[in-house]
Amino acid sequence: MGVAIEDRWFTAKDGLKLHALAAGPKHARALPAVCLPGISRTAEDFRELLQAFATHSKNPRRAIALDSRGRGLSARDPNPTNYTVPIEIGDLLAVLDAEKITRAVFVGTSRGGILTMVMGAVRPQAIAGAVLNDIGPVLDMPGLLRIKTYVGKMPRPSSWAEAAMNLRKVMGGQFPAFDEAKWQDYARRTWRNGKDGFTPRSDPLISTALADIDPAVPPPDLWKQFNALAAAAPVLVLRGEHSDLLSRETVAAMRAKDQRVETIEIAGQGHAPFLVEAATIDPILAFAARCG
């Protein structure tokens, strides 16, 4: 049986309004879970996981999924140069403090995983465990370049069928087994359809954060941040089988850094695996239960 998912509202230090989805008992014995989406993704990606956390038969817990600024129902920043990891970390810390979350299990997809790794350096005591969904300290250039081609640049569709078709054109190599229903679900997590027609759930100007990606210049690695995270808490790394952003070599190197690092490859998916079915949700629930 499901539970209600509620809207939560917060104010960033610069006054920007932030939104999150939350579910589950506020005073559960188990530690809360904090879910962070990808660069142009929203808290909507975590609805199924929030439900699973909140209704777990043995370890129900409070779970919250944040819309980073400019995403979902959080306000769009009038200055798009603020779509940066340092500012988004500040927003995350403000939400944690407002919710009085001093320690939690973090689940970070892509950009959300980068935020989680940085949290390992800036507030390690807050992390009881971390799930990194198709992200690591080394970002492969093919994935970065592909992401740069579509973030903030997807054409506005005129129908759900067209929205799904456009996503398939860009993401088909990452999710070759998706049927039409899954592409439609992906589309509905990407767009809204209201009185003004189709509008993206995230600010197209988030593309500003990707402007400096250059195939001739590898991005700086995040080994320092990952090492701090792995020293602070157990880590579970999920990698999509077809991922072009997180290589098997990087996953192996992450596992070699600390014996507590667990790794799972998600068959049939790429960057980044959707956390909507048992194959991806159950390992996260089991891992969280081991973390507290």
Residue 45: CA count within 13 A, CB half-sphere? 29
Residue 273 in domain: yes
Tokens of 56: 């777990």
Residue 158 in domain: no
The pLDDT tens digits for 160-208 are: 999 999 999 999 999 999 999 999 999 999 999 988 899 999 999 999 9
**Which domain covers residue 31, as residue numbers?**
6-71+81-140+220-291
Residue 93 in domain: yes
Residue 210 in domain: no
pLDDT of residue 176: 95
CATH number at residue 39: 3.40.50.1820
Please answer whether residues 186 and 275 qualify as being in contact, where contact means their C-beta atoms are separated by less than 8 angstroms: no
Average pLDDT value over all residues in the chain: 95
* Beta-sheet strands, E only, within the chain: 6-11, 17-23, 33-36, 63-67, 104-109, 127-133, 191-194, 197-200, 235-240, 261-266
Residue 52 in domain: yes
Domain count, the chain: 1
Residue 103 in domain: yes
Long-range contacts of 43-47 (CB under 8 A, 24+ apart): 43/19, 43/67, 43/71, 43/72, 44/72, 44/189, 44/201, 45/109, 45/189, 45/274, 45/275, 46/21, 46/107, 46/275, 47/5, 47/21
pLDDT of residue 283: 97
Residue 146 in domain: no
pLDDT of residue 1: 61
pLDDT of residue 258: 87
pLDDT of residue 236: 98
Residue 250 in domain: yes
pLDDT of residue 2: 78
Please answer whether residues 132 and 119 qualify as being in contact, where contact means their C-beta atoms are separated by less than 8 angstroms: no
Q: Say yes or no to pLDDT of 285 above 80.
A: yes
